[in-house]
Amino acid sequence: MDFLKKHYEKIVLGIVLAGLVGALVFLPFYIGSETQKMADLRNQYINPPVKALTNLDLTVQNTAMTRLQSDYKLDFETGNKLFNPVDWQKGLDGQPIKIHTGNEVGIHAVVVTNLTPLYLVLTLDTITTNELGSRYVIGVEKQAEKSPAKRHKQQRYISLGDKPNDTFALVSVKGAPENPDGLLVKLGDTGEIVTVAKDKPYRRVDAYAADFRYDPEKRIFHARRIGDRVSFNGTDYLVADVNQNELILSDQSNQKKTSLPFTP
C-alpha cells in the first residue's frame, strides 16, 4: 500500500502513456479503415456498378403506332347519338315514339294491308219472249262508281235494235234468241265487244280499293278509293291512285305524291 501511495502519480502517468501509445499504434489502422470507407462511398455514389440492360419490350408502343397508321372511326350517330340526338314524338295515347329513320311517323309510316279489285260485271239474268221477239235483262254492277248507291247491281232491259244505254249496246245474239248461247254487247266507254252468257258473266277490273293503317295513331282505313280524303299525323291526304301494286297519296298542303307499295 505504501508503494502505491508513493508511486500513485507515476502509475497513473504510465497508464496514460500506455494508452497514448496504444492509440498511436491503432491510429494508422483506423485511418486506413476510414479511408477505405470513404473510397467505397465515393465509388458507390459517383461510379456505381452498372448492369447490362435487357432488351426493351416495345409491344405496347408498337401496337399504338400501328393503330395510329390506320383510320379510327367513331360512330356518334347510330349508337349514342352524341351529335345527332334521336327525336321523340308524342303519340295520341300519350306514349313517346322514338324516331330512328324518320319513317316512324308521317306518310312513310302508312302500311298498305290489302288492295281489292273493283269490277264492272255484266250478267244475263232473264229472257222474256213475246210476239215482238225476245227481250233480255242484263245485270250491271259497277263496283268502281264514286256514288255508293250506283255500286249495287242494276238491271237493264234491252232487245235487238234498241238504242244503247249508259253502259252498253246489244250487237247480236248467238244461237236461238229465246235461248241464246250468249249476247254480244258493245261497251260504251271503250267500244270493246264482249260476250255475256247465263253461265259466263263478263268481268273487267275498273279500279282498286285500298286497305291501310297508320300505327302511330292506331287508325285503320278500309276500302279507300281514288278521290277519297284521309287525315293522319295532322295532315290531310287525297287518294290520288290505287292500282294492283301500290297506293298513292297526295299531301294536300303541297300536292306532293307518295307511293306506298303493297307487299302481300
pLDDT of residue 171: 96
Of the pLDDT bands very low, low, confident and very high (cuts 50, 70, 90), residue 76 is low
Q: Answer with the residue of higher pLDDT: 174 or 96.
A: 174
pLDDT of residue 167: 94
Phi, psi of 115 (to 5 degrees): -125, 120
223 touches 234 (CB < 8 A): no
224 touches 200 (CB < 8 A): no
Least confident stretch, 16-25, 139-148, 235-244: 16-25
Q: Answer with the residue of higher pLDDT: 245 or 216.
A: 245
Angstrom distances, CA of residue 72 to CA of 85, 190, 263: 22, 66, 40
The position carrying cell 307511293 is 259
119 touches 205 (CB < 8 A): yes
Q: For the chain, how big is the Rg over CA atoms in Å?
A: 56
Phi, psi of 72 (to 5 degrees): -125, 115
pLDDT of residue 133: 87
137 touches 162 (CB < 8 A): no
pLDDT, tens digit, 9 for 90 and up, residues 197-220 = 999 999 999 999 999 999 888 899
pLDDT, tens digit, 9 for 90 and up, residues 183-193 = 999 999 999 99
pLDDT, tens digit, 9 for 90 and up, residues 137-158 = 999 999 999 999 899 999 999 9
Which residues, 6+ apart, have CB-to-CB distance to 258 below 8 Å? 107, 108, 248, 249, 250, 251
107 touches 127 (CB < 8 A): no
Angstrom distances, CA of residue 29 to CA of 18, 39, 65: 18, 15, 62
pLDDT of residue 65: 85
Of the pLDDT bands very low, low, confident and very high (cuts 50, 70, 90), residue 97 is low
Which three three-digit cell numbers place residue 204? 273487267
Q: Is the pLDDT of residue 17 over 90?
A: no
Of the pLDDT bands very low, low, confident and very high (cuts 50, 70, 90), residue 16 is confident
Q: What is the 8-class DSSP label of residue 67?
A: H
pLDDT of residue 43: 74
Of the pLDDT bands very low, low, confident and very high (cuts 50, 70, 90), residue 24 is confident
